[in-house]
């Protein structure tokens, strides 16, 4: 059953990570690399607003008889408030019943037309996705079921109780994962009283306190048209896309856009958290608030980090920590931009008796990069790698749909994809030096270690 499959996938992911008013157009040029692709052809991003206020982003792709559609709501865990886990719980219950349909009947409806349905919730957003063949006899029933789930979820009591129990089981399982424990400690230390500090999975206490009425109120407040972005890519034309958007969203109340999140405060001092865990290796996370989607320094920091720790075994961090000293199998860094400043993270795993040395090397490598920036050769190689790999990022309909959702949700310019490679190409050594010195302070980092010798790592 699709229902059972995606529930299992969601649980696995949870264990691992707890990781439009005016019309307009732009262009994307997909490159054929796999079976789910459009041939090389310029596409236009079409953009409009539905009658009740949802923003729509659409790219026609008639080369394959498939439609990818997503509806993204500003309804992630940052909206949990004091009820940690509520956003994830609400999203996960959407397909557990709608109107007179139960969860098995919903799964059968999607399976009967060969459609793939998915749910996901993150810190910023919650999404509902559908992939279907574009033949009307298959597509229309799939869309009708999706629309039904969006506006008339039943939220049955037995499903609510089952989902809460599953989330509690997942939380207990996470206690056996050093990586999950590190992340659990990292976000509250990094974000303090900001909504991003809220654990997406919730806590045993917060989940136990949630009620079915809390779920219904959350859905009524955030799963509304003005708080939604619809993204579509596939074998339909503009007229059909407009009809589909209206059919999906018109049953929802117009509602209101979610209130802006508060700014993220910069760290004022270093924070060290050492968690003892019976393991031969220690998991390390280091970081601080980084950048947001649409940040003026986004591309500069992105290119710079590709050199620092984002390019795998050839990055500075990997070279210094792994290749030269053999302290870790992998060492990496990345920015995770969100609505507000998401984290900049350095991560590695090392033997318990090497924690102090690994931390020093990682810190020194970061400090050297912030102070002096990359070399000319590193910058050239990084640009070539990023720009050469970019066509693969938009090579399939589903990938394009994902970008459309991101562009819409974060209010990015419609020419974002057009300008990606040219903007990367324009980044200079001086740009990177200035951006990293202004944005990253190696002396004010949150450092979390989880391992058998973590408490002795100083």
Q: In tens digits, what is the pLDDT along the chain, a chain of 458 residues?
A: 333 334 433 443 333 333 332 333 433 333 333 344 333 334 689 999 999 999 999 999 999 999 999 999 999 999 999 999 999 999 999 999 998 999 999 999 999 999 999 999 999 999 999 999 999 999 999 999 999 999 999 999 999 999 999 999 999 999 999 999 999 999 999 999 999 999 999 999 999 999 999 999 999 999 999 999 999 999 999 999 999 999 999 999 999 999 999 999 999 999 999 999 999 999 999 999 999 999 999 999 999 999 999 999 999 999 999 999 999 999 999 999 999 999 999 999 999 999 999 999 999 999 999 999 999 999 999 999 999 999 888 888 899 999 999 999 999 999 999 999 999 999 999 999 999 999 999 999 999 999 985 544 44
- If you search the block for the tokens 């789910």, which residue do you land on? 36
The two three-digit tokens of residue 180, written as one number? 């999950």
264 within domain boundaries: no
Q: CA–CA separation, 89 vs 210, rounded Å?
A: 10
For 431, the 3-state DSSP assignment is: helix
* Boundary residue ending a domain (219, 249, 279): 249
Instruction: Give the model's pLDDT for residue 44.
Output: 84
266 within domain boundaries: no
Burial code (b: 16+ CB inside 10 Å, e: under 16) for 296-307 equals ebbbbbbbbbbb
185 within domain boundaries: yes
- Shared domain for 347 and 219, answered yes or no, is no
| CB-facing half-sphere around the CA of 452: CA atoms within 13 A | 9
The two three-digit tokens of residue 275, written as one number? 């968690």
CATH code of the domain in which 296 resides: 3.30.830.10
258 within domain boundaries: no
- Shared domain for 278 and 330, answered yes or no, is yes
- Shared domain for 217 and 276, answered yes or no, is no
- Shared domain for 184 and 332, answered yes or no, is no
- Shared domain for 386 and 341, answered yes or no, is yes
- Shared domain for 236 and 360, answered yes or no, is no
* Boundary residue ending a domain (214, 249, 284): 249
| Contact indicator for 67, 246 with CB cutoff of 8 Å | no
- Shared domain for 322 and 392, answered yes or no, is yes
256 within domain boundaries: no
- Shared domain for 320 and 177, answered yes or no, is no
23 within domain boundaries: yes
- Shared domain for 339 and 191, answered yes or no, is no
Q: Which domain, by its residues, includes 423?
A: 271-456
259 within domain boundaries: no
Domain count, the chain: 2
- Shared domain for 210 and 275, answered yes or no, is no
Q: In terms of DSSP bridges, do strands 126-133 and 281-289 run parallel, antiparallel, or are they unpaired?
A: unpaired
- Shared domain for 320 and 449, answered yes or no, is yes
Question: In 192-309, which ranges are continuous DSSP H helix?
Answer: 204-209, 212-222, 238-249, 298-305
Cβ burial, residue 250 (10 Å; 0-12/13-18/19+): middle
- Shared domain for 227 and 308, answered yes or no, is no
Instruction: Give the model's pLDDT for residue 20.
Output: 31
Instruction: Give the model's pLDDT for residue 392.
Output: 86
């Amino acid at each position: 059953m699709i229902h059972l499959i995606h529930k299992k996938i969601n649980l696995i992911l949870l264990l691992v990570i707890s990781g439009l008013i005016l019309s307009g157009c732009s262009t994307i040029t997909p490159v054929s690399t796999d079976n789910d692709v459009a041939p090389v052809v310029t596409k236009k991003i079409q953009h409009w607003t539905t009658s009740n206020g949802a923003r729509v982003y659409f790219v026609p792709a008639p080369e394959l008889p498939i439609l990818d559609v997503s509806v993204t709501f500003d309804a992630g865990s940052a909206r949990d408030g004091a009820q940690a886990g509520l956003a994830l719980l609400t999203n996960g219950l959407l397909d557990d019943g709608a109107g007179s349909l139960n969860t098995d009947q919903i799964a059968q409806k999607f399976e009967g037309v060969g459609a793939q349905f998915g749910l996901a919730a993150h810190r910023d957003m919650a999404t509902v996705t559908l992939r279907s063949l574009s033949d009307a006899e298959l597509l229309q029933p799939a869309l009708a079921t999706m629309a039904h789930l969006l506006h008339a979820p039943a939220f049955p009591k037995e499903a609510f109780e089952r989902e809460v129990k599953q989330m509690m089981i997942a939380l207990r399982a996470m206690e056996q994962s050093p990586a999950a424990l590190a992340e659990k400690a990292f976000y509250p230390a990094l974000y303090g009283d900001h909504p991003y500090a809220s654990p997406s999975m919730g806590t045993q206490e917060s989940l136990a306190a949630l009620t079915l009425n809390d779920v219904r109120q959350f859905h009524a407040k955030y799963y509304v048209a003005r708080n939604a972005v619809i993204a579509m890519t596939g074998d339909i034309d503009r007229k059909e896309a407009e009809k589909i958007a209206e059919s999906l969203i018109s049953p929802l109340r117009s509602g209101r856009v979610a209130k802006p999140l508060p700014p993220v405060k910069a760290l004022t001092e270093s924070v060290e958290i050492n968690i003892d865990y019976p393991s031969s290796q220690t998991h390390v996370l280091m970081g601080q608030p980084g950048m947001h989607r649409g940040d003026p320094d986004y591309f500069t920091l992105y290119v710079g980090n590709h050199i620092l720790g984002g390019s795998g075994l050839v990055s500075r961090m990997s070279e210094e920590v792994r290749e030269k000293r053999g302290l870790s199998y992998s060492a990496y860094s990345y920015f995770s931009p969100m609505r507000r400043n998401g984290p900049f993270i350095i991560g590695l795993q090392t033997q318990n008796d090497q924690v102090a040395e690994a931390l020093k090397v990682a810190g020194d490598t970061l400090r050297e990069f912030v102070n002096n920036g990359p070399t000319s050769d590193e910058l050239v190689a990084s640009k070539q790698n990023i720009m050469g790999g970019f066509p693969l990022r938009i090579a399939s309909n589903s990938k394009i749909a994902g970008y459309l959702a991101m562009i819409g949700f974060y209010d990015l310019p419609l020419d974002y994809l057009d300008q990606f490679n040219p903007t990367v190409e324009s980044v200079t050594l001086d740009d990177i030096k200035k951006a990293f010195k202004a944005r990253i302070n190696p002396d004010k980092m949150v450092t979390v270690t989880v391992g058998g010798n973590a408490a002795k790592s100083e």
